Chain A
Amino acid sequence: MIAATLTRTEADPRRLLKALASQEVLLAIAVVGLAIAVGFYNPRFLATRNLSDVLLGNAYIAVAAVGMSMVIISGNIDISVGSLIGVLATLSGTLAVDGAPIIITWLVPLVVGVLVMAAQGAVIAYLRIPAIVVTLGMLSILKGGLISATGGKWITDLPDGFHLADIELFGTVPMPVLLMIVATILAALWMRHSASGRTIYAVGGNAEAARLCGISQPRTTVMVFALHGFFAGVAALLYATQLRVIQSTVPPNLELTIITASVVGGVSILGGVGTVIGSSLAAILIAEIASALVFTDVSPYWIRAVQGSLILITVIADILRRRRMAGA
């Protein structure tokens, strides 16, 4: 009896891992399959120019989704990240125009991102206020604050060296794609193999069990939010430097796109399960769908309905799958 229970529990993580692997494989197939299907309908979709535009223009969403995935895996949520990215991008651009050294304009958003998110994490963890209340409040503070401070004007005349997104490594790999890949792989390795990375899963999977193992839930929450802030800072840099101008407003519904990428990427909204590789793939898939709509003559106004349905379907499928696994 006991032996049977043991093998069951030992077998479980492997089955879980298998299910996760399939989620990532599934997404990769979807990314390629969609490209081929739309390519048949409109060959211009497959033009290198278009595909690389899709990748370059949306790498920042994948980077932000890495942090968001950590937050969701640890059993929290953050809806303020879109506003934060808008604020950080504006901050960086304003500094650049004011003639600050380029390195400062790149570092400041990272530091401020970490500080703002860590503060939110601390309020959530130590003052025990639900994440949705804190981040909904912060969303409006950042969004309203940004618009009333800048009036939503365009930041132009950015210095040449500022454009991080224009840098190409070895003349071929553009910086946004490089950062996306590096951030995803490093985060994935760290979360899978390091003790501190595993605490995120432990806290998200079973907070009480984690506490009994000596893991401090509040400390993990603050750590996760601080990292999330760091990735938001990187995302803001990519967003700020990809065009010649920055509009100093919050990109509309950015937080929803980022959450969609995380959830569709296989991060379970019940916490404890998911990988950042899946969320990056999902970010690419969402960007590809948006582009595919244009190339198949479907109005781009449908994109948000598509995003909403994607979250809904993935979440329902995830819960039903878990229920079946628990019942089996």
Chain B
Amino acid sequence: MSEIPLPQTVKRVAPWWLLRHETMLAAILFVALVILGVLNNRFLTLDNLLNQGRLTTEVGLIALPMTFIIITGGIDLSVGSIVGLCAIMLGYSWKIFGFPLPLAICFSLVVGAAAGFLNGLVITKVKVPPLIMTIATLALYRGLAEGISQAHSVRGYPEWFYFVGQSDLFGVPAQLWLLLIAIVVAGIALDRTTFGRTLYAIGNNETAARFSGLPVDRVKLIIYTLSGLMAGLSAFVLVSRVTTTRSDMGSGYELDVIAAVVLGGTSIFGGLGTIWGTIVGLAMIQLLKNGLALTGVKGDATIVVIGAVLILSTLVAGSLQRRRDGV
């Protein structure tokens, strides 16, 4: 009767922090940096690295709330479409409705938050699965962007508008400061607040979280709204960098964002993940793009690699987790 196997304490061969997903990923990142640096002398320059940081900001801003969402076991496929919709709303409210530009920027952020709020509202109140809800709004928001703009673009913003997208502040690309602030806030929120711990609780066992009296629906509503808001911010940074507004902006972002988050060790099944992991995942994705570009691979072939990385990293993470759980 007493032969129920007790959980055995595994003898650790290395300190715990060395075996963490993020640490291993950071090590791979470091090795990849060195190899790419040796292969191409244009790669490991401060200029190039800072420029890569500039390019990764738009995806990075969205990847932070996406980490929250995936930790709760949800997903948001509509982020790329929200970027498109917000870019169009920014350009159109300024050029066509005649809003002053600062107001137009705020307006596009509100539109982004509202788009995310609608996702969250239907997901929590009607209980539509996040995957289906955001596939529907992936079509809807992109469709609104196309319908409103009639595929016309908006150009000719005033000079100051390009500051965030193209200028440097203290020697670092301006938008990178935005990303850094967002990272610090998101990291603290996830690790050190009740809100952050609630996300893990929901992802591990939603029913238990509900019965523990945690405000599950309210927290979900907040993270989907946040996701829309950050997609709006990302649209602003993107328009400011590329100086034009088109309705197809941000299409395919969902791939980069989800790949970065999953690569960073956040479990697609929920309950597991860190902001630091997402940062390293983001760096890996951008590195991959830059490395491939420098070796002469075109943009279309890059998404092949990112797609493969997405599948493989989920595969590896899944099997590692199974081994850890002893299944």
Write out the residue numbers on chain B whose beta carbons fall within 8 Å of the beta carbon of A320. Answer: 126
Tell me which residues from 130 to 145 in chain B have a Cβ below 8 Å from any Cβ of chain A.
131-133, 135-144
Asked whether, in the complex, the Cβ of A136 is within 8 Å of the Cβ of B135, the reply is no
Write out the residue numbers on chain B whose beta carbons fall within 8 Å of the beta carbon of A128. Answer: 318
Asked whether, in the complex, the Cβ of B300 is within 8 Å of the Cβ of A319, the reply is no
Nearest-neighbour CB distance to chain A for B152, whole angstroms, equals: 10
Tell me which residues from 110 to 137 in chain A have a Cβ below 8 Å from any Cβ of chain B.
123, 127-130, 132-134, 136-137
What's the interface size class on A, roughly?
Answer: 35 or more
How far does the alpha carbon of A299 sit from the alpha carbon of B150 in the complex, in Å? Answer: 8
Asked whether, in the complex, the Cβ of A311 is within 8 Å of the Cβ of B136, the reply is yes
What's the interface size class on B, roughly?
Answer: 35 or more
A interface residues with partner B (beta carbon < 8 Å): 77, 79, 123, 127-130, 132-134, 136-141, 143-145, 147-148, 253, 256, 259-260, 263, 269-270, 299, 301-309, 311-312, 315-316, 319-320
Decide if the interface of chain B is mainly helix, strand, loop or mixed: helix
How far does the alpha carbon of A123 sit from the alpha carbon of B138 in the complex, in Å? Answer: 25
Say yes or no: is B301 at the interface (Cβ < 8 Å to chain A): yes
Asked whether, in the complex, the Cβ of A140 is within 8 Å of the Cβ of B143, the reply is no
Asked whether, in the complex, the Cβ of B137 is within 8 Å of the Cβ of A308, the reply is yes
If A127-B318, A136-B307, A269-B132 touch, does A144 touch B139 (CB 8 Å cutoff)?
no
A301 closest partner in B (C-beta): B146
If A299-B147, A308-B143 touch, does A319 touch B311 (CB 8 Å cutoff)?
no
Contact of A140 among B129, B136, B151, B307 (CB under 8 A): B307
Asked whether, in the complex, the Cβ of B315 is within 8 Å of the Cβ of A132, the reply is no
Write out the residue numbers on chain B whose beta carbons fall within 8 Å of the beta carbon of A305. Answer: 139-140, 143-144, 146-147
If A132-B131, A315-B128 touch, does A148 touch B298 (CB 8 Å cutoff)?
yes
| CB-based A-B contact count at 8 angstroms | 135
B269 closest partner in A (C-beta): A130
Write out the residue numbers on chain B whose beta carbons fall within 8 Å of the beta carbon of A129. Answer: 268, 311, 314-315, 318
Write out the residue numbers on chain A whose beta carbons fall within 8 Å of the beta carbon of B110. Answer: none
How far does the alpha carbon of A269 sit from the alpha carbon of B136 in the complex, in Å? Answer: 12
| Pairs A–B under 8 Å by Cβ, sample size 21 | A132-B131, A133-B258, A136-B254, A136-B255, A140-B306, A144-B302, A145-B304, A148-B301, A263-B132, A302-B146, A302-B147, A305-B140, A305-B143, A305-B146, A307-B139, A308-B137, A308-B138, A311-B132, A311-B139, A312-B136, A316-B126
B311 closest partner in A (C-beta): A137
B317 closest partner in A (C-beta): A129
Asked whether, in the complex, the Cβ of A304 is within 8 Å of the Cβ of B143, the reply is yes
Asked whether, in the complex, the Cβ of B139 is within 8 Å of the Cβ of A136, the reply is no
Write out the residue numbers on chain B whose beta carbons fall within 8 Å of the beta carbon of A303. Answer: 143
Write out the residue numbers on chain A whose beta carbons fall within 8 Å of the beta carbon of B131. Answer: 77, 132
Say yes or no: is B310 at the interface (Cβ < 8 Å to chain A): yes
Write out the residue numbers on chain B whose beta carbons fall within 8 Å of the beta carbon of A144. Answer: 300-304, 307
Write out the residue numbers on chain A whose beta carbons fall within 8 Å of the beta carbon of B143. Answer: 302-308
Asked whether, in the complex, the Cβ of A123 is within 8 Å of the Cβ of B311, the reply is yes
How far does the alpha carbon of A123 sit from the alpha carbon of B307 in the complex, in Å? Answer: 14
Asked whether, in the complex, the Cβ of A137 is within 8 Å of the Cβ of B132, the reply is no
